[in-house]
Structure 1
Amino acid sequence: MKNLFSILSRKRRLTVFIASFIVFVASTGGILYETTKKTIVFTIDGHEKVIKTHKETVQGIFDDQNISLRSEDYVFPAVNTRVKNNLKIVWKPAKQVQLVTDGEKKTVWTTATTVAQLLKEQKVALKEQDKVYPRPAVKIKSKLKVTVKSAFPLTLVDGGVEHQVWSTSTTVADFLVQQGITLNQLDRVDPKPEDPVKENGVINVIRVEKVTDVVEEPVEFAVVTKQDNNLTQGTETVVTEGQKGLLQKTYEVVLENGKEVVRNLLNETKLKEKQDKVVAVGTMTFAQQVSRGAASGQEIYVSSTAYTASCNGCSGTTATGINLRVNPNVKVIAVDPNIIPLGTKVYVDGYGYAVAADTGSAIKGYKIDVFFPSKSDAFRWGNKKVKIRIL
């Protein structure tokens, strides 16, 4: 019985020893396995992490991390590079981006960090005036849509003032908004707002306004003639002087770019009535002027002098209305109507046939003044006694 217990005790000790040995070997192997791993710094899309690995190549590390690579991805160093301790691996996964350039769409894979880098990568050259959405500094993310609108030159005429500008607009309305131009109620634009914008085109903004203009205009008077048989034929005298009227007119004026294009009369008001000029026109002939008080055929002797239409104190118009300046060849004598009535036809020796058609302050009694058109003729006549025959 004692031997039996001794045998069992030895078996237990052997079992414990073997188990302990196995644990020791396993622990030592595990420690040895971990200590032989290489340390790698793995940068994934800008984020660093440290990993330990027994993989022999960079590709093996990606496989170990369950990462599937695309041909467009950026990997450094190359996937066939052998792994060594403290190796730095950089991986930038390519992102899918939609690039729209002047309406032309294409899908690209890129490892660019920003929109600006993407455009450079795609060889899209930008002018200062071009528009890019989103802004060039925006970071690239998957499914991002990048739009490029190339600017083109245009001529803008605003209110008659010309400007050379650049635009990325598709319609005239969009162009006006882009340029910060506001149309007032009456303004118009050519081409129409819905029309497309074309390179090197001309956009003409016509500024239209309506204003009220009040003006005063003179109204010309008419000249009215009336026949007067008390005046010698061919003579005229003003009965009533004419006066201009005054009319106030209110206009609606349409201006385009500051220049008048339409003027419409709204109303008019008479401020002053016009007064027509009335002129009496003589119709009496010399035959009608012969006085009925003088005896036909009578001869008398009188003192005579001579005068002209421009002598001192002379008006140029006779007492009977004959305009001597207008009728310089008329034969007229000035008389004392108490001796020879006005209108009497006479014959004056040395002067000829004449009409008694004028008077004078110095012509009293048997004295006459003979009319001549020039001073030289009047001086030659002088002062002399002549015979007059009443006709």
Structure 2
Amino acid sequence: MFAAVMVFAIYEGTKNTVTMIANGEKEEVKTHAETVGAFLAEQEIKVGQDDYLSHTAEASIDKDIVIEWTEADQFTITVDGKPTSAWTTSNTVEDILAKADVEITEHDKVTPALNEEVDANTAISVEKAYEVTILDGLEEKKVWSTSTTVADFLKQHKITLSDLDRVEKDMDELILPGSEVKVVRVEKVTDVVEDSVKFAKETKKDSSLLKGSEKVVQKGEEGLVEKTYEVVMENGKEVKRELKGEKVIKEAKKQVVAVGTKTVVASVSRGTDTKAAAPAPKKAAASQPAATSTKTTKTAAPAQSSEPSSSREFYVSATAYTASCTGCSGITATGINLLANPHLKVIAVDPSVIPLGSKVWVEGYGHAIAGDTGGAIKGNKIDIFMPDRSAALAFGRKQVKIKILD
């Protein structure tokens, strides 16, 4: 019995003491195991490839030793909605993601934060960042974003909106890869401008002026008005203008024009019969008694001078026209009806050279009145009225002397 006790005491006394720290719990164990691996097998501890073991399985146990073993936990990670997992003994998010070979950039969104400590029941989420284009007014830039709403995206990038600004996306719409967020900067400004006001024109009949002539009685003057507009600007460009008020600075002054209604009727010069005494007979011969007799006969009066005197005379280029042409009214610019009075002597003139209504004498035509105008009659040109077309064609074009009689 004593021998058995001694043997047992010797056996126990030769064991090494192993301090085992398993998953944070400490326990001292006596063992004859020569290696760490044999000791763990003796303790029925299976070490996984991701577990933490302070010594290798081949390490020898030849004296008291402290062995630390931490069993790895399985962590679930979601990357852009796709699940993956990692076994590790570390409990920080950053180490867990590294174990899972998930690369993180500064723009990615990780929940919980990288430096937080978690347990196996904690869900780890990673949202990978992607480029998004922001058009802020006239400024365009590329930024990084993760899947979030437009409202959160603007807040994340510190983009503030005024009451008039607008975003051309719904605020609860998700920002997706390749998205473009357009912010329209809107402002209202007041614009005050001065604008001219056209004057009105009034005409009134004047019987002292020849028909077809005009005279400005009162010269018109433009007015001035101040207009106030509310202008809507989008990204610095005007898109809407609304008149809010007007203020008259200067009233417009109407223009009054007198329009002539006077009609001039041409008259034809006619000769006047006169009485002339017949010449006395020759005296009779002396042997014969003298006889005298007086007899009155009618003879034509001396013809009028073919070229009357005038204070103004010059040469003009003369052509002839008729009132019976196709489309012609037969009414002159001064109102003379040539169709009803085919034997009147009328000429068409340039009023700036020969005033309308003037009495004239034309070489080869006689006394006439300047009673008509014509589109081609400019300067020292006249057009002579003929009663029929053949006479007008026969006249042709010639240089003639003209005299202004009044």
Report the TM range for the smaller structure's normalisation.
0.5 to 0.7
User: Equivalent of 2:354, from 308, 332, 335?
Assistant: 332
Matched residue SS, 1:116: helix
User: Equivalent of 1:114, from 89, 92, 112?
Assistant: 92
Q: Does structure 2 conserve the Cα–Cα contact (< 8 Å) formed by 1:227 and 1:282?
A: yes
* Structure 2 residue 106 is the aligned partner of structure 1 residue 99: no
Structure 1 position 76, deviation (Å): 4.2
Residue 65 to residue 254, structure 1, CA distance change in 2 (3 Å): farther
How many angstroms apart in 1 are the aligned matches of 2:259 and 2:27?
128
How many angstroms apart in 1 are the aligned matches of 2:262 and 2:357?
10
Structure 1 position 136, deviation (Å): 3.0
Structure 1 position 200, deviation (Å): 0.8
Structure 1 position 238, deviation (Å): 1.0
How many angstroms apart in 2 are the aligned matches of 1:296 and 1:276?
53
Q: Does structure 2 conserve the Cα–Cα contact (< 8 Å) formed by 1:169 and 1:178?
A: no
Structure 1 position 275, deviation (Å): 1.4
**Structure 2 unmatched ranges of 5 or more:** 273-303, 316-333, 335-347, 372-377, 382-398
Equivalenced residues, count: 316
Residue 122 to residue 220, structure 1, CA distance change in 2 (3 Å): same
Partner of 1:178: 156
Which structure has the highest helix share of the two? Answer: 1
Structure 1 position 374, deviation (Å): 4.4
Q: Letter of the 1:117 partner, please give it.
A: D
* Deviation sequence 1:41-67 (CA, Å, 0-9, x none): 76666x898956325264786699998
Q: Letter of the 2:185 partner, please give it.
A: R
Partner of 1:133: 111
Residue 61 to residue 140, structure 1, CA distance change in 2 (3 Å): farther
How many angstroms apart in 2 are the aligned matches of 1:328 and 1:204?
70
Q: Which moved more, 1:238-247 or 1:114-123?
A: 114-123
**Structure 1 unmatched ranges of 5 or more:** 1-21, 309-321, 334-341, 358-371
User: Equivalent of 1:283, from 249, 261, 276?
Assistant: 261
* Structure 2 residue 61 is the aligned partner of structure 1 residue 54: no
Partner of 2:134: 156
Where does 1:1-391 land on structure 2 (aligned, <5 Å)? 36-38=14-16, 40=18, 53-54=30-31, 56=33, 58=36, 73-77=51-55, 83-85=61-63, 87=65, 89-105=67-83, 108-112=86-90, 114-287=92-265, 302-306=309-313, 328=350, 332=354, 345-347=359-361, 352-353=366-367, 373-374=379-380
* Deviation sequence 1:71-108 (CA, Å, 0-9, x none): 75322445686633254534233245442322345665
Residue 264 to residue 64, structure 1, CA distance change in 2 (3 Å): farther
* Deviation sequence 1:294-320 (CA, Å, 0-9, x none): x99898954533489xxxxxxxxxxxx
- What is the CA RMSD across the aligned residues, in angstroms? 4.7
Matched residue SS, 1:224: strand
Provide TM-score, normalisation by structure 2.
0.61
Provide TM-score, normalisation by structure 1.
0.63
Residue 54 to residue 307, structure 1, CA distance change in 2 (3 Å): farther
Residue 228 to residue 65, structure 1, CA distance change in 2 (3 Å): farther
* Deviation sequence 1:202-254 (CA, Å, 0-9, x none): 11111122222222211111222222221122222111111111122222221
Q: Letter of the 1:180 partner, please give it.
A: K
Identity rate, percent: 38
Residue 296 to residue 98, structure 1, CA distance change in 2 (3 Å): farther
